[in-house]
Structure 1
């Protein structure tokens, strides 16, 4: 076996996960390096190896490498010697701060960088080249491990490579935040956006306003808590952590907060790993927790809710600025980050419009509307930040009333397609965080990894020089329905790895990435990450057969064991194993789930089978190419409501997608025509819709993907004779997603786009 395959195979064997269908990836590195040249042979790392730090600036990184290697070798490396050695050195020819070069030869590893951060990124590459057992902090040392001979030159494509975590909706321990930082470290992220305050809870101690945490950090169960508690009956990952419940005045309260000492320790932990923690204190909206503790902050002197969002703080009273500047003084003293995130999104401005103080301020300052009043608050706060040497970040909502070109804008509103272009042309640096792709609180499915990996941070419409203002991207994890640490793991992993590679490498190596990812699951197992088990495929949710059929599963890795039930129960560790296929002779429901050797259970799939005759084709004449699409403006909760609305605009489309005439934030589209299939068979259809969609073919229901939700895929089958069949697809967009895709398969083949020649009207 070639030496370059040995390391990955060892890593897989350690976890008992060996694939037979696909050869192990050569170098299991995520994100993949900018350039990698393979060599011949291997470097043997043992307790006799010396670790030599030639530049004192890299001593901390040298100590971290020692800590990484000691458990597997059984002792620390010496710092001198003529046998095999690892050399950390400066290289002035490397221009990127996070760049590094790695040369592995049979007797020496040379890691070079311009700055300490680049040295640290290179150490993570060495870490990934080592077997997964390197992550174990206890157990018998192996004595020696091997690394392949190679040469790497590497640097990131984007300077902002971030992950966000909302700790306001649900609270997470300091231990978990360190674990989260460890994952960021492994995959070469450099920003950790910590959402510390919102309506549901204020999570950071502010000494000047102690009631922010004594009262604002706690709540009685809200509607989101009720939802997750119902889900917890079937899935314990949705249960509220008992350590964050307390009894006060006979009521159960849920919450928690971080002391400044705890946060200071976390910041030091992140800084040592070259991760910048960006605090977000959301203002002027999303502050119900603070207003509950200090009612003077609102224009009405009380908390409450408007038409859509919570009552905000009042930007027209000087007491508001005394509060905010006092809070931010403590934040600035605590966080070394150059940035502070102000939020400035989803502000319910009704109380401002009705406030005499605001009317007076607007008249005095020449402010024409409440959007400009929000801009006044943001501008004034930014000036305060600047006086303290800090930069302001805001969500792209802040563009509406005007924003200073010195602020950094985070673009999240996918339906406002020109927002990042406007921000760039206003002079703002932009971080891309679109809800349509990079909101990791949206349920993942089998398309999620591809969607994240294929994400292009550069929006359409920018010149080459303007593109430089897109400084990177991050994924946001909002936790309304993510109450536990296990659930966070499930939602972000492995999607986090796809984003890491997109932002560091910025190349399309998706097929290769999928193979490399397989070798990372054993490492995540050792690290205790409750990741989402890879998807099974080869089936649809709604299935039909004419006489009989067989259920055959395609597994992404051979290490997965598929178990099933036919009695309605959820499959468990003792349920029957689906080894090859399951013969279906009558209508029935099959539930199945994959189990890893480490004990993780994958998603439960519910497959319904019903017997169906082939639909006869209809005779059609004088048809034209394409489907007729009718565009309906409006906010709809379901397809039925959209079908009752007036539809003034229509156009012919050659494929099923959101038509170009759809410009509103929320709308519906009705597609009508005929599907002409070239052969008789069982046709499967796969509908991805954000928000909802319903597909009917031959006047038979095929897929019901209705409702307001993220880009979820649902699938169904229909038996069709060769020829033309009426097709009706109804789609609703509630705001933000703009995602609609329809694929087909024939008799269980791989899903493909529907040929344009099949669509007529």
Structure 2
């Protein structure tokens, strides 16, 4: 029974399988949560924290309704089961699966308007994500962001079962990562403290959200160049203040040290993002260091130097047991092969199209400009996002072929290569970040969680879209209680 299609069952993403029982269970005295596995103790505390926020009940004491949290090795890692009868049972294939189940419980709570009595529907839910990667990217380099805001965005991610928060830490405007070895890199009044980031990483971990750090190189590097021009600045005949010098070994040494520091701070991630997009090659072919470097390594032109640069980054990241992520940026072909074990965040379909990457054997995350980008001037409605699918790329710019001719990959060809999708919020001010993402992220979340192989690329009917919008209004109200 697909009760999730009823607005009275206000859960986003819509669960995969729902079997409704008879009636509801009243919880006049709150809940008492228990678990046998020590790994679930922080999860239990998470449940009690948000239960109390929504209901106002002082849970954790007799005679509350028992809630049992359990890890079940018979379930797949990302699956969970919720059973609500005369008690509440939550089983998950891993810790994060239990955390995601708690988000469902919090969305299901009904508090009577006049009586104030708390109810939960009697139900059995079996659930798990279609796509392993669901992400939100926040640009903290162009505009200053408070850690308090980032924590609210972590709650937003958890609430809608989005399991990655990607932080764009550097760009032309600022370098916000606190390097201990190269403190000069940090932009004054913009750099986070190590304690701030460690606190954020732990907060996210408790919510089942992994933070992926990004330092954007070799392009988008104006702040790095201004901070350490003797190391990073090109000295070609044409001025280029946005791209670091890829022809100096000292540059690779600094990057290697920064990767080590990223791994020290962002301890929960297996992915390190190093940008590699929109690289302007002007001045590289006349820079003396680059000329000598390209000659020594047999590189024919600046684009081959750039490809060499990516392979060096990949080796550095792999040496730490991590996976390199980059934006779409390298062109098809070239003498130096871009490694197939990195992950490409495909966004513009301008430098490298998704079908080319698929044919080349690359793994992708869909960050399609339209409709997944959120900027002050360009952004799309939750309805449009809901009609998109994770194998579809569109754009708005005449420079991209995906604007006039959207690119739809065949699911049978691409299902193993497209890991999921990500909403990307660029150049947004701290004060508007939550408001501009809270309605859009849930649409992406449901379209990467609730679909099946058979329905993933089917355009949802108008009825399904409006059903989602009604549920979104209800969950949005609930979210407000959690982030205040």
User: Residue deviations 1:158-214, cap 9 Å, x none?
Assistant: 01100000001101111111011111110100011100000000112111122212x
* Distance in 1 (alpha carbons) for counterparts of 2:426 and 2:345: 15
The residue that corresponds to 1:411 in the other structure is: 346
Find 1:191's aligned residue among 152, 156, 164: 164
Aligned to 1:170: 143
In structure 2, which of residues 402, 416, 425 is the aligned counterpart of residue 468 of structure 1? 416
Q: Gaps spanning 5+ residues in structure 2: where?
A: 393-407
Q: Does the Cα contact within 8 Å between 1:311 and 1:351 map onto a contact in 2? A: no
Aligned counterpart, 1:257: 191
Give the Cα separation in 2 of the matches to 1:65 and 1:491. 27
The structure-2 alpha-carbon separation of the partners of 1:304 and 1:371, relative to structure 1 and needing over 3 Å to count, comes to closer
Residues 132, 261 of structure 1: CA spacing in aligned structure 2 closer, same or farther, 3 A cutoff? farther
Match of 1:522 among 472, 477, 482: 477
CA contact (8 A) 1:70 1:77 kept: no
Deviations 1:102-147 (A, max 9, x none): 1111x1221111111111111100000114899xxxxxxx874101
C-alpha separation between the residues in 1 aligned to 2:112 and 2:342? 44
Structure 1, residues 521-544: CA drift from partner, whole Å, max 9, x if none? 322443468xxxxxxxxxxxxxxx
Q: Report the CA distance between 1:56 and its aligned residue.
A: 3.8
Is 1:125 matched with 2:70?
A: no
Q: Is the 1:192–1:275 contact (alpha carbons within 8 Å) kept by the matching residues of 2?
A: yes
1:422 paired residue number: 356
Confirm or deny: 8 A CA contact 2:234 2:244 kept in the other structure: no
Q: 1:425·1:466 contact (CA, 8 Å) conserved in 2?
A: no
Alpha-carbon distance in structure 1 between the residues aligned to 2:38 and 2:259: 36
Q: CA deviation at 1:49?
A: 4.3
* Matched residue, 2:80: 100
Secondary structure at 1:397's aligned position in 2?
Answer: coil
Residues 537-592 of structure 1 show CA distances to partners (whole Å, capped at 9, x for unaligned) of: xxxxxxxxxxxxxxxxxxxxxxxxxxxxxxxxxxxxxxxxxxxxxxxxxxxxxxxx
Q: Distance in 2 between matches of 1:103 and 1:25?
A: 20
Give the 5 Å matches for 1:424-463: 424-441=358-375, 443=377, 448-459=381-392, 460-462=408-410
Is it true that 1:40 corresponds to 2:22 in the alignment? yes
Aligned mates of 2:344, 2:112 — CA distance in 1: 41
Offset at residue 87 of structure 1 (A)? 2.0
Residue 156, structure 1, aligned to residue 129, structure 2? yes
Tell me which residue corresponds to 1:19.
Answer: none
* CA distance in structure 2 between the partners assigned to 1:519 and 1:132 by the alignment: 12
Separation in 2, partners of 1:513, 1:494: 11
1:482-529 per-position Cα deviation (integer Å, ceiling 9, x unaligned): 2232x2123213011111111111254323211211212322443468
Matches within 5 A, 1:276-675: 276-300=210-234, 306=240, 310-336=241-267, 337-400=269-332, 401=334, 402-415=337-350, 419-441=353-375, 443=377, 448-459=381-392, 460-462=408-410, 464-479=412-427, 482-485=428-431, 487-506=432-451, 508=460, 509-527=464-482
Answer whether contact 1:412 1:432 (CA < 8 A) is retained.
yes
Give the RMSD, CA atoms, in angstroms.
2.8
- Confirm or deny that 1:66 pairs with 2:57: no
Using the alignment, how far apart are the partners of 1:395 and 1:458 within structure 2?
17
Distance 2:41 2:444 in 1: 30
CA-to-aligned-CA distance 1:715-738 (integer Å, 9 cap, x gap):
xxxxxxxxxxxxxxxxxxxxxxxx
CA distance change for structure 1 residues 132 and 365 in 2, over 3 Å: closer, same or farther? farther
Q: Do the aligned partners of 1:312 and 1:347 also contact (CA within 8 Å) in 2?
A: yes
Displacement of 1:30: 0.6
Which residue is 2:91 aligned to? Answer: 112
CA distance in 1, matches of 2:89, 2:483: 31
Deviation at 1:294, TM superposition (A): 0.6
Between Structure 1 and Structure 2, which shows a larger proportion of strand residues?
1
The residue that corresponds to 1:28 in the other structure is 10
Q: Secondary structure at the match of 1:62?
A: helix
User: SS where residue 198 of structure 1 aligns?
Assistant: coil
Change (3 A) 1:452 1:54: same
Say if 1:199 and 1:289, in contact at 8 Å, map to a contact too. yes
In terms of fraction of residues, the more helix-rich structure is: 2
Q: Distance in 2 between matches of 1:394 and 1:164?
A: 13
CA distance in structure 1 between the partners assigned to 2:411 and 2:365 by the alignment: 17
Contact 2:46/2:206 (8 A) holds in 1: no
Task: Check if 1:203 corresponds to 2:176.
Answer: yes
Question: Counterpart of 1:598?
Answer: none
Q: Secondary structure at the match of 2:340?
A: coil
- Structure 1 residues 399 and 131, CA gap change in structure 2 (3 angstroms): farther
* SS of 1:398 mapped into structure 2: coil
Larger radius of gyration: 1
Q: Please state whether the residue corresponding to 2:162 is helix, strand or coil.
A: coil
**TM-score normalized by structure 1?**
0.56
Deviation at 1:98, TM superposition (A): 2.2
Deviation of 1:442 (Å) = 5.5
Structure 1 residue 301, shift from structure 2 partner: 5.2
1: CA distance, partners of 2:238 / 2:146: 29
Q: Which moved more, 1:166-175 or 1:406-415?
A: 406-415
Q: Give SS of 1:341's match.
A: strand
Structure-2-length-normalised TM-score: 0.86
Shift of 1:463: 6.7
Say if 1:285 and 1:311, in contact at 8 Å, map to a contact too: yes
Instruction: Note if contact 2:110-2:120 (Cα within 8 Å) is conserved in structure 1.
Output: no
**Match in the other structure for 1:14:** none
Structure 1 portions without partners, runs of 5+ = 6-22, 135-141, 219-254, 530-761
SS in 2 for 1:280: strand
- Kept in 2, the 8 Å contact 1:74–1:143? The answer is no
Question: CA 1:325–1:75 in structure 2 vs 1: closer, same or farther (change >3 Å)?
Answer: same
CA distance in 1, matches of 2:204, 2:326: 23
